[in-house]
Structure 1
Amino acid sequence: MMRASILLSTLAMALVAQATSLTGPRALVLLDTLDDTDVYTDLWNDLEGRHYNLTINDVSSPVSLTKYDRRLYDHLIFLAPKMKEYPKGMNAKAVVGFMAEGGNVILAGSSELANPLRELSREFDVEFDNRYTSVLDHFNYDKELGQAKHDAIVVNPSSHMSKIDAIVPQDKLPGPILFRGIGHAVNPKNSLLTPVLWAPQEAYSWESVNLDESADQDPLIAGKDISLVSVMQARNNARIAFLGSTEMLSDAFFGAPAKKHGDKETVNGNRKFIEELTKWTFQEKSALDVVAVQHHKVGEEEAPAHYRIKDNMTYTISLAEYREGEWHPFSADDVQLELIMLDPYVRKTLEQLELDDQSTVGTFTTTLQLPDQYGVFKFMVNYKRPGLTYIESVTTVGIHPFRHDQYPRFISQAKPYYTSAASMGVGLLIFSFVYLWGGLDSSVKTTKKA
């Protein structure tokens, strides 16, 4: 039965995998003006090479994200930092609703970031610095692009990028990242947010239009507190990426060599970085799916109608990971099963079965004894790791107590109670015998009073 469900699920996943993205190929791009289209030619070519259908609009054209309660697009790309108001038919609520329905978003800003996109970012606990501020670094600036203001900085991925390979793997980047734009801060209490790229320790955020004037206050954010690129995965697995620079997606930054002041010229990693970031945001990779779940008593194969307390049972779950347009077996050593009734009664790490050449899923299993507590329980696998889509598999089962004829007749631990009960019975018999047959002697005479 489990094999049949795995085959059906694999067939369904193969049909979905014809599209590069799990959520679909339709992408809407919003620009400040259509004249900016030629600025991102390499980006368009990369996306179209991955089978995306791009619709490019400027902010003056009306836009509708849904029709008849259905999404018209699967992905939304904001490359319009100067946008002073949303296009007709769109607002912040519509964008949040777009994500609530499973759409993915890329939001790129600049030092001229206007209020609409700032307010949208605040919906996700991301706060961009004040308008007309830029990230400056007088030690790590690019010799050509940042010579004048030191606002084009060179970021080393090995020390200033997240180590989460599920989002952007460091070993795939050919060189450092070039960045020129605005910094932002993320709410550290929001566990759904993940900083991907942050500024060097010497960097600070300041008004790039007033560099010749003396500073009269400290910068709002500085050093590694300046997030350059951050991502968020919502609870429904929709994804959004926040970039402080539209230029890092442009042809100029894709093709420019990285020439950090005082260092040799190297190839920059912008194009590969944006490729991996868009793959993650558009769910081309790091997407997990539950293929099959099975549970049964030890020695049996079918799931029972209910379990009994202290039963030994086996739980098995099969997971697959989507990447490079195909489904692959998922591997991990930290997948856990929880047996919950209000609170977890049992939490146990699942063991992954050995993969063979024909495996299309990763199978995790464990054997455990059910608790000595009856009621309605949930078998739950709640797997949430940064960069991966969330897995929450819940199976509800009933656990019954022993029936009256399933208890042992005599319990060895109760021998003191059995002995006391028997001694009480024997004592009662002795007392009754003495009282009834061992009374006063009949030969005793009574005297009458005069």
Structure 2
Amino acid sequence: MALVASATSLTGPRTLVLLDNLDDADAYMDLWDDLQSRQFNVTLHDVKTPVSLSKYDQRLFDHLLILAPKMTAYPTGMNAKSVVGFVAEGGNVLVAASSELGNTIRELSREFDVEFDNRYTTVYDHFNYDQDLGKDRHDTVVVNTGTHLSTVDAIVPQKDIPGPILFRGIAHSINPSNSLLTKVLWAPQEAYSWETQDGDNESANQDPSVSGKDISLVSVMQARNNARIAFLGSTDMLTDRYFSAPAKKHGEKISPSGNRKFIEELTKWTFQEKGALDVVAVQHHKVGEEEAPAHYRIKDTMTYTISLAEYHDGEWHPFSADDVQLELIMLDPYVRKTLEQVPLDDQSTVGTFTTTLQLPDQYGVFKFAVNYKRPGLTYVESVTTVGIHPFRHDQYPRFISQAKPYYTSAASMGVGLLIFSFVYLWGGLESTVKTTKKA
């Protein structure tokens, strides 16, 4: 299936979908419709069809959706190294798993510090299960977005999700020391991951390896090159059945499922349709001047200004924040100061941040650096190199207060010399010369 159009994604419209079998595509028709409405060019492949992600060091696709949890081997022309290289080249990836997850996807997720639970394990919850989809085994968990959804609105805004999320699948965990990873959706406190063999209700031979809020259901990662990767423990939550099914938890009223809106917002973020920042302009100059000088002098007072724009809804908009900081660095930061945002008006097309500061009493080559990294937003790294010179010999003040002891010492020596000379020359000392006669 090819949907040829111009996508609203910053990285492009070309999207490759890997399926265990092409017949599985019928279960995701609402998902394809959503991508089509956002003008993506979608290509479906099963794992038996040869496919390549790049050719002549150029990406053939901009986004990769892996909806093939049972995959035991990559298609011809593709492997784990090529997927990691695809991300390194700026491509975006969404990986959906299930209880039948094979080692192929498991090993790929480990490349990004994500660890799925053992095969044939499922997330169960005997208190928060759906009475229709999970009435037999309690394996369809109703997840409350108000308490178990990340508060990072740049990824999935809580206020836009109309109801709870229905989840049936496998648990995973993320490396807490990896700052690039963000947990988006996690399980209720009563949930646990338990093993079943081939769908049977046999007892597991060990305690659950993960339970409660430690169970990650959906996690995302933004690489240092701003490529984005999403990991879902369920392929069912992307299907038409879960998109349209109402959420019906025991003891609560029936509410609409939030799956469709959740997946829409998640894919928008993953495919860089929102949450992307760009540095529009950087300016710096001395106070009272307009142009940037060739170099600064130590202790100069200068103004630094940076303009940022945020991409969403297919357009660039002014970016607003109160935690953008400027660092003046020479090996180590000498100055770190929070920038103030210029008030926005109806004519504003970018968010402008500025500050005025005095340069340090240290000469050398410095960098004006803005290193803004926040979950859900692309990383902003703006570096401007400037030279700070010392004063010339004729620019120093004739007298400086720190040298008063030396001035006093020199003056006292001069006064002492004058007194000594006066006393020595005209102090009234008499000398007598005695003469003796020879016998």
Q: Does 1:115 align with 2:103?
A: yes
Query: Structure 1 residue aligned with 2:52, among 56, 64, 83?
Result: 64
1:10-159 correspondence to structure 2 within 5 Å = 19-159=7-147
Deviation of residue 227 (structure 1)? 0.1
Q: Given that residues 196 and 203 in structure 2 are in contact (C-alpha distance below 8 angstroms), is that contact kept between their aligned partners in structure 1?
A: no
Shift, 1:442, TM fit: 4.0
Equivalence map 1:273-284=2 (5 Å) = 273-284=262-273
2:306 to 289, 312, 317: 317
Counterparts of 1:191 and 1:418, CA distance in 2 = 57
Deviation of 1:339 after TM superposition, in Å, equals: 0.6
For 1:448 and 1:307, the matched residues in 2 are separated by 84
Deviations 1:322-353 (A, max 9, x none): 00001000011111111111111111111111
Instruction: Report the Cα distance in structure 2 between the residues aligned to 1:149 and 1:180, rounded to whole angstroms.
Output: 11
Q: Which residue of 2 aligns with 1:288?
A: 277
Change over 3 Å in CA distance of 1:432–1:193 after alignment to 2? same
2:409 aligns with 420
C-alpha distance in 2, partners of 1:155/1:242? 17
Q: Give, as a single letter, the amino acid of the residue that structure 1 aligns with 2:184.
A: V
- Give the superposition deviation at 1:266: 1.2
- Residues 260 and 446 (structure 1 numbering): CA distance in 2 closer, same or farther, change over 3 Å? farther
The correspondence for 2:334, drawn from 338, 341, 345, is 345
CA contact (8 A) 2:63 2:271 kept: yes
Distance 2:12 2:247 in 1: 35
Query: Does 2:356 match 1:390?
Result: no
Q: Equivalent residue for 1:368? A: 357
1:216–1:65: structure 2 CA closer, same or farther, 3 Å change rule? Answer: closer
Q: Is contact 2:341-2:353 (8 Å) kept? A: yes
Encode CA deviations 1:156-183: one digit per residue, 9 max, x unaligned.
0000110111000111111100000000
For residue 411 of structure 1, what is the aligned residue in structure 2?
Answer: 400
Structure 2 unaligned residues grouped into runs of 5+: 1-5
Distance across 2 between alignment mates of 1:425 and 1:32: 98
Contact in 1 for aligned 2:196/2:204 (Cα 8 Å): no
Aligned counterparts of 2:225 and 2:34: Cα–Cα separation in 1: 27
Shift of 1:184: 0.2
Equivalent residue in structure 2 for 1:247, among 236, 245, 270: 236
* 1:42 partner SS: helix
Amino-acid identity (%):
81
- State how far apart, in whole Å, the 1-side matches of 2:264 and 2:346 are: 30
Q: Cα 1:52–1:449, aligned 2, differ >3 Å: closer, same or farther?
A: farther
Q: Aligned-pair distance for 1:423?
A: 1.1
Q: Which residue of 1 aligns with 2:260?
A: 271
Q: Distance in 2 between matches of 1:58 and 1:352?
A: 50
Following the alignment from structure 1 to structure 2, what is the Cα–Cα distance between the partners of residues 76 and 449? 127
For 1:202-230, what per-residue CA distance to the aligned partner results, in whole angstroms no more than 9, with x for missing partners? 00001133864445432100000000000
Which residue of the other structure, out of 157, 166, 179, is the alignment partner of 2:154? 166
Q: Secondary structure at the match of 1:404?
A: coil
Question: In the alignment, what sits opposite 1:3?
Answer: none
Measured at CA, do residues 448 and 208 of structure 1 come closer, stay the same or move farther in structure 2, by a change above 3 Å? farther
Match of 1:201 among 167, 189, 195: 189
Match of 1:298?
Answer: 287
Cα pair distance change 1:186/1:429, threshold 3 Å: same
Report the CA distance shift for 1:333/1:448 in structure 2 as closer, same or farther (over 3 A): farther
Could you tell me how far 1:440 is from its partner in structure 2? 7.1
TM-superposed CA distance for 1:411, in Å, is 1.7
Q: Deviations over 1:240-287 (max 9, x none)?
A: 000000000011111111111232221100000000000000000010
Counterpart residue identity of residue 311, structure 1? D
Please state whether the residue corresponding to 1:314 is helix, strand or coil: strand
Q: Deviations over 1:407-447 (max 9, x none)?
A: 11112343332121111122234334545666974423266
Which residue of structure 1 lines up, in the alignment, with residue 389 of structure 2? Answer: 400
CA change 1:448–1:237 in 2 (3 A) is farther
Deviation by residue 1:365-389 (Cα, 9 ceiling, x = unmatched): 1111111111110001111110000
Rounded Cα–Cα distance in structure 1 between residues aligned with 2:400 and 2:252: 81
The match for 1:308 among 297, 301, 319 is 297
What SS does structure 1 have at the residue aligned with 2:18? strand
Partner AA of 1:29 in structure 2: V
CA distance in 2, matches of 1:195, 1:448: 119
Matches within 5 A, 1:2-17: none
- Residue-by-residue CA offset, 1:269-310 (whole Å, 9 max, x unaligned): 000000000000000001000000000000110000000011
Q: Which residue of 2 is the match for residue 7 of structure 1?
A: none
Structure 1 partner of 2:3: none
- Tell me what 1:236 maps to: 225
The CA distance in 2 between the partners of 1:320 and 1:202, in whole Å, is: 42
Matched with 1:355 is 344
Q: For residues 434 and 215 of structure 2, what CA distance do their matches in structure 1 show?
A: 115
Post-superposition Cα deviations, 1:65-99, rounded to whole Å, max 9, x if no partner, equal 11111100000000000000111111111111101
* Residue number in structure 2 paired with 1:5: none
SS of the residue corresponding to residue 124 of structure 1 reads coil
Give the TM-score, by structure 1 length: 0.93
